Amino acid sequence: MSVIEIKVPNIGDFKDVEVIEVLVSEGQTLKKNDPIITIESDKSSVEIPSNFEGKIKTLKTKVGDKVSEGDLILILEKINEAEEKIEKKPTIEKNIKKTQETKPEIKKILTDQNKVFNISSASPKVRKFARELGVDINQVAGSERKGRVVEEDIKLFVASKSKNLVNNENKSNEKIKQEYSHSEFGEVEIKDIPRVKKLSSKYLMNSWTNIPHVTNHDEADITELEEFRTSLTDIYTGEKKKITPLAFIVKALTASLKKFPNFNSSIDDIDVGKMTVKKYYHIGIAVDTPHGLMVPKLRNADNKNINLISSELKNLSDQCRNLKIDKKELFGGSMTITSLGGIGGSFFTPIINFPEVAILGIGRSEKKQVFLNGKFITRTMLPLSLSYDHRIIDGAEAARFNNELKENLGKNFAYKLAV
């Protein structure tokens, strides 16, 4: 049996290139053109194949090594023709023909043997994508011809692992028990969790564990809007109208949804590959009540003026606080607004109200020095925290949506919002 040294071939002007993958192991039988290592330079990653057939005797390269042309990768034992015939007809395959009864067991043994040296076929670009996600590509089932792995296979693999991880974590959390009682450390009081909070908790857990949240933080200049809002008076009595900023925000958000319909959609099942784009504009309003957080929907906000929106917001809040709201009014929304402006605070990360794909968090507005037209001037700035479902909305689209929303809350749009 002759021995062959497999070395790094001509790789151009590159020297000391890093080995990022070793695709074979000692004892493995190689065929000609089988990939053996992957190297990566600043510009690209390349698989180096074997020019010979044989069984790997010794590996001389490992991940992280720096290699150049002529460096030894592995030592190969060349298999002669007689040995190749033996390799192609292992005893275990002969036994399959002897009896039908042992077929299932033998097939399993053959499958397990094949898995020992399972090397997935994939392009360098796909291998790099897998490494960036921390995925062992050899564990990914390929969907292309001869089991070749593509990017979509890796995404599905990651998604399935995430679901299993969440399920395992949920199961393990169920088993966790307190080792000590709270009362052992001091005086305590046992109280019932409010019914509304118990009901909403499962929806919050579902949203947080199943939706990939991303939050975009920004500020809107509402100086002119606030001046206009506080100047509004009743045409009959001359008294100032008490219209909250939230009514204007609802109107501005509705206008933004019309321009960015993806934000007015729902994903019922990502595996089906379909999304529901809504043609109605029902804005959810998070209402803080003594019983817990409730989110009624202000229906058809696009067809209502500021006065009507303001009036309906008050009615919805009263119904929630008095537990008079119809259960159906808590469902069927376009997008939700949750405001901390009346309490305080600026930026936060609101949880998306499933099955919606985005939620807008509002902080307390404050006067700030802003650099405009070559000088610092005092402006009223409103903190915005936009959380969105990254499966359907990307960062660039979210930034454009925020820019549109800021424009709708700015001086060029303030008067139109009142219509």
pLDDT at residue 112, rounded to an integer: 40
Residue 164 has pLDDT above 90, yes or no: no
Instruction: Categorize the per-residue pLDDT at 158 as very low, low, confident or very high, splitting at 50, 70 and 90.
Output: confident
Contact criterion met (CB below 8 Å) for 246 and 300: no
Q: Active-site residue among 213, 217, 291, 390?
A: 390
Contact criterion met (CB below 8 Å) for 27 and 87: no
Q: Please, what is the average pLDDT of the chain?
A: 82
Residue 193 has pLDDT above 70, yes or no: yes
Contact criterion met (CB below 8 Å) for 327 and 321: no
pLDDT at residue 126, rounded to an integer: 80
Tens digit of pLDDT for each residue in 344-357? Answer: 888 999 999 999 99
- The residue type found at 179 is E
pLDDT at residue 168, rounded to an integer: 60
- Percent of the chain beyond pLDDT 70? 81
pLDDT at residue 412, rounded to an integer: 58
Residue 165 has pLDDT above 70, yes or no: no
CA pair distance 336, 298, nearest whole angstrom: 10
pLDDT at residue 166, rounded to an integer: 58
Residue 102 has pLDDT above 60, yes or no: no
276 compared with 341, residue with greater pLDDT = 276
Q: Which residues, 6+ apart, have CB-to-CB distance to 367 below 8 Å?
A: 378, 379, 380, 381
pLDDT at residue 332, rounded to an integer: 93
> What are the structural domains, with CATH classification, of the chain?
1-88 (2.40.50.100), 197-417 (3.30.559.10)
275 compared with 133, residue with greater pLDDT = 275
- Up-side HSE of residue 248: CA atoms within 13 Å toward CB? 30
pLDDT at residue 181, rounded to an integer: 83
Residue 110 has pLDDT above 60, yes or no: no
263 compared with 203, residue with greater pLDDT = 263
pLDDT at residue 139, rounded to an integer: 83
- Up-side HSE of residue 338: CA atoms within 13 Å toward CB? 20
Determine whether 297 is exposed, middle or buried from the number of CB atoms within 10 Å of its CB (0-12, 13-18, 19+): buried
* Residue 182 annotated as catalytic: no
Residue 417 has pLDDT above 90, yes or no: no
Determine whether 283 is exposed, middle or buried from the number of CB atoms within 10 Å of its CB (0-12, 13-18, 19+): buried
Instruction: Categorize the per-residue pLDDT at 329 as very low, low, confident or very high, splitting at 50, 70 and 90.
Output: very high
pLDDT at residue 209, rounded to an integer: 84
Tens digit of pLDDT for each residue in 67-99? Answer: 988 999 999 988 665 444 444 444 444 444 444
CA pair distance 322, 315, nearest whole angstrom: 11
Least confident of 31-40, 218-227, 385-394: 31-40
Block residue for tokens 């700035």: 381
Tens digit of pLDDT for each residue in 263-298? Answer: 999 987 766 778 999 999 999 999 988 888 899 999
Block residue for tokens 């019932």: 192
pLDDT at residue 195, rounded to an integer: 78
